[in-house]
Amino acid sequence: MKKIKIDSEFEVYESLSETPSQVSELMEHAVKARLRAYAPYSKFLVGAAILLDNGEIITGNNQENACYPSGLCAERTAIYYAGSKYPDAKK
């Protein structure tokens, strides 16, 4: 057996005014992407934004299906689009 340790680190901001401008810009893109989500069943709209190493910002949103739960989450749609459109960029 092999033991693997995984650590996570988060930055928590007390208010939006403390948020770095690059993070604020990504949040704005995610909010706009959320408006294009398709969630007629849960009514839970989600948006995501990814900054690639080439400077491109890719967005995604959740897409529900009548065969719930076989929809797509916002993060997944953004990651798949980024991989398709910019296969050499780091995500």
Q: Where are the domains of the chain?
A: 22-85
Report yes or no: 61 and 48 within 8 Å, Cβ to Cβ.
Answer: yes
Collapsed DSSP state (helix, strand, coil) of residue 87: coil
Determine the straight-line distance between the first and last CA of the chain, rounded to whole angstroms: 31
Catalytic site includes residue 11 = no
Closest by CA position to 48, among listed 64, 63, 32: 32
Kindly report, residue by residue over 5-56, the tens digit of the pLDDT.
999 998 898 888 899 999 999 999 999 999 999 999 889 999 999 999 999 9
Kindly report, residue by residue over 53-76, the tens digit of the pLDDT.
999 999 999 999 888 778 899 999
Q: Which of 11, 14, 56, 75 is catalytic?
A: 75
**Cα–Cα distance measured from residue 56 to residue 43, given in angstroms and rounded to the nearest whole number:** 29
Say if residue 91's pLDDT is above 70: no
Superfamily for 22-85?
Answer: Cytidine Deaminase, domain 2 (3.40.140.10)
The mean pLDDT of 76-80, rounded to a whole number, is 95
